[in-house]
Amino acid sequence: MLPEINTLAYFQWQDWLVFSAILLATALAAAYGHLRLTKQASITGLYSRRLLDYLLMGRQLTLPLFVATLVATWYGGIFGISEITFNYGIYNFVTQGLFWYVAYLIFAFFLAGKIARYHSMTLPDLTERMFGPKSAKVSAVLTLFYIMPVVYVLSLGLFLHMMFGTSVLMGMIYGTLFTCLYTAWGGFRSVVFSDLVQFFVMCSAVLMVVVFSVSVFGGIPFLKAHLPASHFTITGGNSWLNTLVWGFIALSTLIDPSFYQRCFAAKSPRVVKTGIVISTFIWFCFDLCTTLGALYARALLPYAEPRQAYFFYAIQLLPAGLRGFFVAGILSIILSTLNSFLFIASNTLSFDLLRKRFPNIILSNRIAIFAVGTLSIALALCFKGSFKTIWLVFGSYFSACLLVPILMGYVYPGRISDKLFVASSVLSAIAMTVWRFCVPPIWLDWGDPFYIGVCVSLLILLLFRSHRASIESHIVDR
């Protein structure tokens, strides 16, 4: 097998037929979402109801649609998964899989019911109801950068580069423009219905690669014979502290905006709880397939570029027709996450940050989608295309600054003030930035900035809460 190929040279008419059919099905699903939105708008005269339908599908998301859109939204960084597995082996399954399953189940069994009580529209909207307006603004800024689809814009650019030979930058521009157009067109309904098609395609595609790999090359004994021993260790050669950082970042699921959006849109808390449990099982199977597929790519294409190895391996492995299905599956993985993140980031910008300046939220949301796409391309260039760095930086800031105060807000409702929430989040971000840029590199090996941020946030909240409790106790005694 070759470490780099001209993908189009491998494509036959069967591949083009399958690939085109899946793209058409996705487009029709998005169009159906637009028609449903238009029909609902003609029935519902109130602007508030039309806004609810545009942002959250009128809170009518059923269990099958909930599972399909939630699962599909979670895997846009497929080339990042390939990169991590190629370099570190099953470390990917631990850091991008096992840690997250725990967080999913905590969300399902302990948070789903609490979230439903607030009847919110977005995560910052929920934060405002729990803590206050200043907290909502801080939460919105952190949410905007966390949910910014930088990784998925980069993934789409890389996909078009490997597929058609365009530069990664031009691929990001063309692909993002296309995704912005159909996302803005139909709102959340278009996202959900296109996710439904993409869900079935992406799951089938990664399973197909594993089945053909095992049948052609053999199972685990083949991988052990052709991979470094470190690829079968939990840390993959990384330190335990750096490995555990991913476990804490996985807890960001408990405050993840895309999770919350689906919960706000679901018909009932029961749909949320059952849907997350089902989704977790599907995620387990999907992660197993992507990790195994990338391990085969590392074994057979050891000199390939890590981000591209899985894609080029599958193209050379699969027969005509199925090759086109796989390529459509990879595109579905990227688009299903990119459109969701574009939509949520634009919601944060238009609904949470600019609502008072631009009262027509639906129109400003559609404009914001293109602004978010442009900013995502710029950030992808700033991070020089490193998936792991993008995930770590944005994930660690978001989790460290918001995770502790929001979870404490659930446990101790009404006990954390608006000012205390802001102080905790802002000082946590400042401490992380100082640690990242001002501390000698040798110390960074002993403590990731994430740990510093969490400690500062927790310390501030505990100190001020204990101080407030002592004052209240003193007043009672008097």
pLDDT tens-digit profile of 239-274? 887 788 788 778 878 888 888 888 889 988 899 999
Residue 469 has pLDDT above 60, yes or no: no
Q: pTM for the whole thing?
A: 0.85
Q: What is the mean pLDDT of residues 298-320?
A: 92
Which residue is associated with the tokens 């397939």? 289
Residue 358 · residue 350 · CB < 8 Å: yes
What contacts 214, CB < 8 A, 6 or more positions away?
none
Query: pLDDT tier at 275 (50, 70, 90 boundaries)?
Result: very high
pLDDT tens-digit profile of 345-365? 998 998 888 888 887 888 888
Query: pLDDT tier at 199 (50, 70, 90 boundaries)?
Result: very high
d(CA 263, CA 70): 10
The CATH label, of 1.20.1730.10, 3.30.1300.10, 3.30.530.20, 3.10.450.50, for the domain at 7-386 is: 1.20.1730.10
d(CA 339, CA 351): 17
Give the C-alpha distances (Å, rounded to integers) separating 83 from 101, 182, 391.
21, 29, 13
Q: What is the mean pLDDT of residues 312-325?
A: 93
d(CA 144, CA 371): 12
| Domain spans in the chain, listed from the N-terminal domain onward | 7-386
pLDDT tens-digit profile of 290-300? 999 999 999 99
